Amino acid sequence: MSWWRRLLAATLIGSPTALLAHALTYGREHVLGGSHHENVVSLALGLACVAVLSLGILSLTSVRAAQTGSILAARLAAYLPAWSTLAAMTAFWFAAIEGLEPQHEAGALLPAVVAIVACAWLVSGIARAIVRAFAKLTFAIFASSPARREIPVRRTHRAPIVLRACILDRRRFARPPPSFV
């Protein structure tokens, strides 16, 4: 899978992950995003919804080519970013959210980094579980539908054409010729 698709997925999933990391780091000490709190939360929820809808569309369009739900889950998991990429995008979103906030007492850097890494690892695991659930659900719905499922088969080997001589194809006598005695 191309790197930009994984980066796009990390961008979509990174925003809600950054909200979770911010909540773990600061708790209720200050308002997330300052005066832009509602906009930041709406953006994060919107990006999460886009990620879930894209996953649903991908699972519906990929189900015809998969023979089982686990194959579909493996194909869909190829779109998910690694947890390290998700941690990098979470750190970007976390810094962007902190940049929107008015000046407040700076917290320690280590708890923020630990929260970002832990949240990225947790959300990455949850995303993989959601992908498996989407694949099983989509495959179960598709397998139970009354439409006949056709598995695409690709011919890789053709039987060689054998040319036989015309003489060998002619029918031979079934009995011996008559005797002239």
Among residues 58, 63, 97, the alpha carbon closest in space to that of 80 is found at 58
> Model confidence at 73, in pLDDT bands (50, 70, 90)?
confident
User: Can you tell me the distance from the alpha carbon of 142 to that of 60, in angstroms, rounded to the nearest whole number?
Assistant: 9
User: Can you tell me the distance from the alpha carbon of 14 to that of 81, in angstroms, rounded to the nearest whole number?
Assistant: 10
Whole-model pTM above 0.75?
Answer: no
Alpha carbons within 13 A on the beta-carbon side of 96: 19
Among residues 90, 73, 91, the alpha carbon closest in space to that of 129 is found at 73
Q: Are 5 and 79 in contact (CB under 8 A)?
A: yes
What is the number of other CB atoms lying within 10 angstroms of the CB of residue 59?
A: 25
Distances (CA, A) of 101 to 94, 108, 109, 110, 133: 11, 16, 17, 20, 37
Q: Which of 8-17, 81-90, 133-142 has the lowest mean pLDDT?
A: 133-142
Dihedral sign, CA of 14, 85, 2, 68?
negative
Domain range list for the chain: 3-144
Question: Tens of pLDDT along 92-123?
Answer: 999 888 888 777 666 678 888 999 999 999 99
Res 120: pLDDT: 94
> What average pLDDT is seen over the chain?
80
Question: Tens of pLDDT along 162-179?
Answer: 555 555 555 565 677 778
